[in-house]
Structure 1
Amino acid sequence: MKASVRAQMSQSLNLTPQLLQSIRLLQLTAPQLEMELRQALDRNPMLELDEGDEAGEVDAESPDASDEVAYEAAAWDELPDPQFMSGMSGGASMGDEDATARIAGGVSSDWRVRLLDELRLDWKPADLALAAWWLDRTADTGLLEGERDALTAEAAAELGADPSALEIVRLRLLHGMWTGLCAVDAAECLGAQLDRMPDCEALSTARSIVRDHLATLARHDSKALASAIGCSIDVADRAVALILSLEACPVPDAPSQGDDHIVPDVVVRKLGGTWRVSLNGRTLPKVRVSPHCEAGLSRAPGDVSALRGLLDEARWLVRGIAMRNDTLMRTTQVLVERQQAFLDQGEESIAPLTLREVADAIGMHESTVSRITTGKYIQTPRGTFELKRLFAVRLEGAEISGAAVKAIVKRLIDAEPPHAPLADETIAGLLARQGIRIARRTVAKYRDQLDIAPARARQRPVAMAAAR
């Protein structure tokens, strides 16, 4: 065995405690930030409440949003993306851990991010990249948005991956912790869940129903179901009960965060024909470095290193809050500017908008925009909602967002004749007349997301419709 010495150069990013604090402040929600500030006031005598001005809304022209703050905000913009956000792409290894991933944060409202965050503990980076691709093509119902073979061919061309490797990853998701995810159809989703159940008398019958007789099951006709399978009605009923115990949608709800009340971080209103954005300063205590303590410390004799450490901590906290507010204000201004039509006219006018477009507009990275918009709420004349709602995915092949199309679908269904409801294919035809070409299954997907029943279930007799 031959021993050798090899020199190797590498780059690494070391995060200072101050920068880690700034990143954590960036992603705190309003209630979390209020608790953080009150705890800091209790433990640090160098901080005090700023009661010089009445707390209120801070406009975009506030002197707090200085050039110095904007310059220092770029410090966290140099950070790499967390690996689960990038799908483990770029050849990064598990050893190249993103230091920001060690910062405690809230649970994401996106189930895809939550699942990838769990899988990254055990899965290889290459498999995670393929899993992220499949999840991006999976609807909120847990089923694939398209034909499996077509999606596999698209992934093979886009990622350069072997089709068999893609199918293996899909099957791992299908039979993984959220059993039934990434299924081709409802039969495969339910079948995967049955495969994990303990053996019982009704299990084989339930598999047969799921595989070949879902349409008969939907009619709730036990006699026809038993006849089609060749079993007794009692056995068919037990199999049906077993199927009804399964999850129709394998995507679980986000875990509760404990405190469900909403505090808006920013307020937007229309004044003089212009949309104005302001920070909601009424919800947070305003803190500053105590000028008396700072002046007294400069003249204090002896060893005051401990007090100087508290003073530095207070300065960094005040500066970090200013950086957070500046980034939140700039991001919200861009969102409001790009979505003025939505604020004026409603859901049907929401424009396609991505994290990258906003990040380019404010000169920061996508990860910064993602952190500052997660868990932050905006109060508008149209209601209070999360900032992330102002982002919208562009509908493929069109200059309109999927959210806008969903709103149009809801309007068409709300205005349909009660005795002659619109079928999904008819709605797709009406949208095509407006230049929006989408498939019937896409209309069905939007209708399911709106919790609207199919046309047959919405139909009411003429006499009942007249009575209403």
Structure 2
Amino acid sequence: MKATLSAQLGQQLHLTPALLQSIRLLQLTGLELELEVAQALESNPLLERVEEVEEAPRQVSADPVLDTAAMDELPEAQIWDVPAASWGDGDIDRMATIAAGGSTDPSWQLLQELALELTPSQLAVAGFWLQHIDDAGYLDDTLDKLTAQGCAELGCSRGELEWIRQRLLHGDPAGMCAVDAREALRAQLDALPGTISARPLARQLLALEREVLLTACTDTLAAAVGRDPADVAEARALLRQLCAHPAQSLVADSDPAIVPDVVCWHADGSWRVALNPRSSQRVVVPAHYESALASCGEELSAGMREQLNQARWLCRGLAIRHETLLRTTQVIVSHQAGFLSRGEEAMAPLTLKQVAEAIGMHESTISRITTGKYLQTPRGTFELKRFFAVKLEGASVSGAAVKAMVRRLIDNEPAARPLSDEAIAGLLARQGIQIARRTVAKYREQLDIAPARERRSNPNASLARAS
């Protein structure tokens, strides 16, 4: 076999450690980024966190001509100059109210809700009762003893104390400040909406001894209350749906609020965008560290040189991440201004490719920077992915907008004459939106809306107000 030499031209991408880190930082959520920065600060003594400073923010319009930036270019320092933003309402700093820290104590949450309807003295009584409940939501002492203590401490009557306790017992969640599980479950039965045929029998079962109710079979319970076993089984099923620990429902609902990565607001006739300083982390290598290490020259140890490189890569990666996030959001807000102003039916078609072309980056970069990142708008807080909508074939609107139109038409239909899928398609055609009946049926099913025949026989067979 004869050996030969040949030359070939080709391109190959080599991912440097700095570029790999920049790509990884793009896809981190706000919480993951915070943990990443905290670990870096703990392990690398050359890094320092940049604290927020009080200075005039740079407000960014959503419709400027965007410059193209390569991933290996370090963004300018102005990207960080967004510690706050004027929302057009005087001197109130709305940014300070974003996911502001608050107590996660269930009792405090209840008091905050009751503050809107109770007087200060009544609120003090409510606070007294909530101070004397256990983790399940039951009173931690006998009712008589706590009532006497409350009268002495608050100087109010027994009747007022009991009235506030009943307000808590039958409030939301029902069963709070109950004497025992039986009283809590009775309150929850009373709070169930609508007419429930099994409710009276369920209350009757609660009057039985606890051990009998928990261990006896359905036939034994039916004989004890003199009712049909099928009715008793239905009543027991209703009791199983109740919560024996009412305070736990508050704990489950006390998840931390989403902290938006970017905020937008309308001012001076245009939509403006700014990074949220609560979720935009910034670290630097102090100048005196840089100069000291530079003076060491070749004497700098390999370990210290590695830490310096890692610190620089992190600073650059964070800057690239925040610039990419801000510029991506600018394009999205500019394109979806109709949705922000008028609602779901004005959601315009938008793809990753369109945004990528607008800022001169790859679609994969846009996918990473919009996953798990949230934008706070006057209409609520949404994941950036929410603003991408596929264009409906044969129309100039997005599928999300047409789905919202279908929901509006069904919500406003005559109760006695619900609209068929074909009729909805005809009404949309009058608005210039040509879609097939089966497309209407698909959107209706996605909205969890029953067909017309079922809506006619059961007017309450409507649906989830989903997305």
Under TM normalisation by the shorter chain, which class is it?
A: 0.5 to 0.7
Task: Please name the residue that 1:457 is paired with.
Answer: 454
Q: Confirm or deny: 8 A CA contact 1:59 1:278 kept in the other structure.
A: yes
2:306 paired residue number: 309
| One-letter amino acid matched to 1:449 | Q
Q: Which residue of 2 aligns with 1:371?
A: 368
Residue 42 (str. 1) matches residue 42 (str. 2): yes
Q: Which amino acid aligns with 2:31?
A: P
Q: CA separation in 2, counterparts of 1:463 and 1:318?
A: 57
Alignment correspondent of 2:188: none
Secondary structure of the corresponding residue to residue 71 of structure 2: helix
Distance between the aligned counterparts of 2:459 and 2:38, measured in 1?
63
Equivalent residue for 2:407? 410
Partner residue in 2 for 1:340? 337
Structure 1: 5+ residue runs without aligned partners?
77-258
Return the alpha-carbon distance in structure 1 between the equivalents of residues 272 and 406 of structure 2.
31
State which of 269, 272, 276 in structure 2 corresponds to 1:273.
Answer: 269
Q: Distance in 2 between matches of 1:462 and 1:329?
A: 46
1:400 counterpart SS class: coil
Question: Which residue matches 1:15?
Answer: 15
Q: Say which SS state the counterpart of residue 375 (structure 2) adopts.
A: strand
Contact 1:25/1:324, CA 8 A, preserved across alignment: yes
Instruction: Please tell me the residue identity of whatever aligns with 1:384.
Output: T
Letter in 1 for 2:343: G
- What secondary structure is seen at the aligned counterpart in 1 of 2:284? strand
Q: 1:73 aligns to what?
A: 71
Q: String of CA shifts for 1:71-121, please: whole Å, max 9, x gaps.
A: 442679xxxxxxxxxxxxxxxxxxxxxxxxxxxxxxxxxxxxxxxxxxxxx
Establish whether residue 386 from structure 1 lines up as the match of residue 383 from structure 2: yes
Q: Is the 8 Å Cα contact of residues 19 and 75 (structure 1) preserved in structure 2?
A: no
Shift of 1:35: 0.8
Is the Cα contact below 8 Å between 2:33 and 2:281 reproduced in 1? no
Deviation at 1:57, TM superposition (A): 7.5
Corresponding residue SS for 2:397: coil
* Counterpart position of 1:421: 418
- Do structure 1's residue 298 and structure 2's residue 300 form an aligned pair? no
- Structure 2's unaligned 5+ residue stretches are 75-254, 463-467
From the CA coordinates, give the structure whose radius of gyration is larger: 2
Instruction: Please name the residue that 1:110 is paired with.
Output: none
Q: Give per-residue Cα distances to partners, 1:324-345, cap 9 Å, x unaligned.
A: 1111111110111111111000
For the 8 Å contact 2:349–2:391, the answer to whether it is kept is: yes
Q: Percent identity between the aligned chains?
A: 58
Amino acid at match of 2:260: P
The TM-score with structure 1 as length reference comes to: 0.54
Answer yes or no: is 1:327 the counterpart of 2:295: no
Classify 1:330/1:439 alpha carbon distance in 2 versus 1 (closer, same or farther; 3 Å): same
* 1:353–1:394 CA contact under 8 A, matched in 2: yes
Contact 2:48 2:283 in 1 (8 A): yes
The alpha-carbon deviation at position 347 of structure 1 amounts to: 0.6
1:71–1:402 CA distance, 2 compared to 1 (3 A): closer
Aligned equivalents of 1:45, 1:464: Cα separation in 2: 62
Q: Secondary structure at the match of 1:428?
A: helix
After superposition, the C-alpha distances for 1:410-461 in whole angstroms (9 at most, x for unaligned) are 0001101122211111101111111111111100000111111111221257
Contact 1:269 1:380 in 2 (8 A): yes
| Cα distance change, pair 410–315 in 1 and its aligned pair in 2 (3 A) | same
Report deviation, 1:51: 2.1
Give the counterpart of 2:397 among 382, 396, 400.
400
- The CA distance in 1 between the partners of 2:15 and 2:25, in whole Å, is 15
- The offset of 1:319, in angstroms, is 1.0
Instruction: Tell whether the 8 Å contact from 1:57 to 1:282 is kept in structure 2 after alignment.
Output: no
Whether the 8 Å CA contact 1:267–1:279 is kept in 2: the answer is: yes
Matches within 5 A, 1:191-340: 262-300=258-296, 302-340=299-337
The number of equivalent residue pairs is 276
Aligned equivalent of 2:33:
33
Contact 1:73 1:327 survives alignment (8 Å):
no
Give the 3 Å change call, closer, same or farther, for CA 71–435 of structure 1 in structure 2.
closer
Cα offset, 1:359, TM superposition: 1.4
